[in-house]
């Protein structure tokens, strides 16, 4: 939500300096290791995190291929345009995936983006509150993981977007408590449409849990206000 598309009926070009002070305080980034992260979650986190910076011969560092994306629990309030968006955000609202306080109970996750390859990955550890079939993760929770990674990927490519369609094939169940790797790839962009494919896999890549094609439509943030 850092991009803005101009519209004659609703200007969304609100700048950060117009935000009141509470919105300027640095929000907490939840996508950092905590005591609930298991060995597989840590291993994959370190694998991608180590590729965010590359050591140079002279001892300095430069940006690597991957970038870790921060994750907040009230993402819209901290975005450019927060004054407009605050009209539709209730004070108790929290991002769905970050609204359980107990570490490890629900979604533990971190996203990384690779702009050169137009790829995003998500590392998710599914906690005990996400049960569907006994001992396994609920299909809606899996859809949430997919929507989070592909939605973030689409908004990085095109600014504000809404999910129009998620076509998910569930191939094998995900054991509760396990860590999975989501890989999101741009398929194509056609006007306002962004089509993304996404696989949910076991951490060693040996098992495919789901395969998805997702359609996003870029929107003007006024699209949300019109429905408020
Ligand atoms: C860093 C920050 C991270 C942010 C991190 C956020 C991560 C989480 C991301 C979560 C994202 C969500 O969950 S979003 C919440 C779930 N989604 C929603 O509630 C969306 C509800 N639906 C809508 O608001 C609307 O239907 C839209 C915006 C999707 C589309 O409406 P519209 O803008 O008026 O567009 P419309 O004219 O209908 O359609 C434009 C073109 O797209 C096609 N089209 C539209 N819908 C579909 C469809 N379902 N399947 C196929 N095609 C479709 C039309 O045929 C048309 O094609 P043609 O004739 O031009 O060829």
Q: Which domains does the chain have, with CATH numbers?
A: 16-226 (3.10.129.10)
Residue nearest to atom 8 of ligand 1 (CA): 148
Q: Is 122 in the pocket of ligand 1 (CB under 6 A)?
A: no
Q: Is-contact 165 195, C-beta < 8 A?
A: no
Whole-number pLDDT of residue 17? 36
Find the DSSP H helices in the chain. 21-24, 39-49, 82-85, 139-158, 222-226
CB of 119 within 8 A of CB of 185?
Answer: yes
Q: What is the pLDDT of residue 225?
A: 66
pLDDT score at 83 = 52
Write down the pLDDT at residue 193: 98
Q: Give residue for tokens 């101009």.
A: 6
**pLDDT at residue 19, rounded to an integer:** 46
Q: What is the mean pLDDT of each run of 10 residues along the chain (228 residues)?
A: 41 42 70 98 97 90 94 66 55 86 97 94 98 98 98 96 98 98 98 98 97 96 66
Q: Tell me, what's the pLDDT at 85?
A: 58
The region, left, alpha or beta by phi > 0 then psi within -120 to 50, assigned to residue 104 is: left
How high is the ipTM of this complex? 0.96
Quote the pLDDT of residue 18: 44
Structure tokens of 47?
Answer: 């694998």
Q: Decide: 196 in ligand 1 pocket, CB within 6 A.
A: no
pLDDT at 3: 40
What pLDDT is stored for residue 221 in this prediction?
77
Please tell me the predicted confidence (pLDDT) of residue 90: 58
Ligand 1 centroid–CA 192 distance in Å is 9
Token duo for residue 197: 């494919």
Q: Which of 109, 185, 194, 175 is nearest to 144 (CA)?
A: 109
Provide the pLDDT for residue 93: 77
Q: Is 217 in the pocket of ligand 1 (CB under 6 A)?
A: yes
* Confidence (pLDDT) at 50: 95
Question: Do 1 and 75 touch, CB atoms closer than 8 A?
Answer: yes
Among left, alpha and beta (phi > 0; psi -120 to 50; other), residue 167 is: beta
| 204 catalytic residue (yes or no) | no
pLDDT of residue 11: 46
- Count of residues in the chain: 228
């Amino acid at each position: 939500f850092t991009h803005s598309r101009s519209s004659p009926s609703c200007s969304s070009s609100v700048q950060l300096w117009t935000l009141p002070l509470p919105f300027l305080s640095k929000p907490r980034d939840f996508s950092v290791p905590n005591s609930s992260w298991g060995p597989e979650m840590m291993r994959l986190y370190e694998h991608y995190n180590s590729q965010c910076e590359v050591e140079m011969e002279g001892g300095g560092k430069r940006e690597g291929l991957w970038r870790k994306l921060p994750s907040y629990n009230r993402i819209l309030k901290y975005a450019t345009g927060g004054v407009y968006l605050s009209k539709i955000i209730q004070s108790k609202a929290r991002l769905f995936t970050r609204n359980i306080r107990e570490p490890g109970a629900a979604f533990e996750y971190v996203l990384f983006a690779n702009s050169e390859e137009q790829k995003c990955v998500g590392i998710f550890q599914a906690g005990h509150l996400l049960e569907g079939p006994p001992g396994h993760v609920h299909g809606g929770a899996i859809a949430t993981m997919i929507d989070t990674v592909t939605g973030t990927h689409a908004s990085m490519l095109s600014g504000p977007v809404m999910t129009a369609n998620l076509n998910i094939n569930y191939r094998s169940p995900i054991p509760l408590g396990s860590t999975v790797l989501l890989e999101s790839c741009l398929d194509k962009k056609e006007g306002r449409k962004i089509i993304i494919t996404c696989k949910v896999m076991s951490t060693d890549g040996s098992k495919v849990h789901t395969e998805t094609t997702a359609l996003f439509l870029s929107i003007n943030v006024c699209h949300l206000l019109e429905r408020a």
